[in-house]
């Protein structure tokens, strides 16, 4: 749960960050989850890659699906969220409808995760 100052709006977001020099995207994803939440992912796999502003800038975003995580401590580094919480997938549609989830990367990631999880559970 964090505030986006440009829009003066609060919302739920997935952890994320920039790939450091010499680091691959999957390593970055695992590092960012741990830094921002205090949880270390058990399993992590590529989920989807997208361009949020195709035609304007080249800004490829890669999202990953994490299955399971161990609490290893408190978030480290810059505190980016006012609240960190596990949210059941069943609650996501209502949160989107209320406007509690509204950023593009989070929406794309949650829809892709829902589709991946439903495809593998059936």
The predicted structure's pLDDT at residue 82: 87
CATH topology of domain 2-121: Nucleoside Triphosphate Pyrophosphohydrolase (3.90.79)
Tokens 């609650």 found at: 91
Helix (H) / strand (E) element for 95: namely helix 92-98
Tokens 């549609």 found at: 93
Q: Per-residue b/e over 9-20, b at no fewer than 16 CB within 10 Å?
A: eebbbbbbeeee
All structural domains of the chain with their residue ranges:
2-121
CA distances for 76 relative to 5, 8, 33, 73, 91, angstroms: 22, 25, 10, 8, 28
The predicted structure's pLDDT at residue 122: 61
pLDDT tens, the chain, 122 aa long = 999 999 999 999 999 999 999 999 999 999 999 999 999 999 999 999 999 999 999 999 999 999 999 999 998 867 778 889 999 999 999 999 999 999 999 999 999 999 999 998 76
| Nearest to 75, CA basis, from 117, 29, 37, 31 | 37
pTM of the model: 0.90
């Amino acid at each position: 749960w964090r505030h986006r100052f440009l829009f003066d709006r609060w919302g739920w977001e997935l952890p994320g960050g920039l790939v450091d020099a010499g680091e691959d995207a999957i390593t970055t994803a695992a590092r960012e989850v741990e830094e921002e939440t205090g949880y270390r992912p058990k399993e992590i796999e590529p989920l989807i890659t997208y361009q949020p502003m195709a035609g304007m800038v080249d800004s490829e975003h890669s999202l990953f699906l994490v299955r399971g995580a161990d609490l290893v401590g408190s978030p480290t580094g810059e505190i980016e969220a006012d609240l960190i919480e596990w949210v059941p997938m069943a609650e996501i549609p209502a949160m989107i409808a209320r406007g509690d989830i509204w950023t593009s990367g989070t929406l794309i990631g949650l829809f892709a995760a829902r589709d991946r999880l439903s495809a593998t559970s059936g």
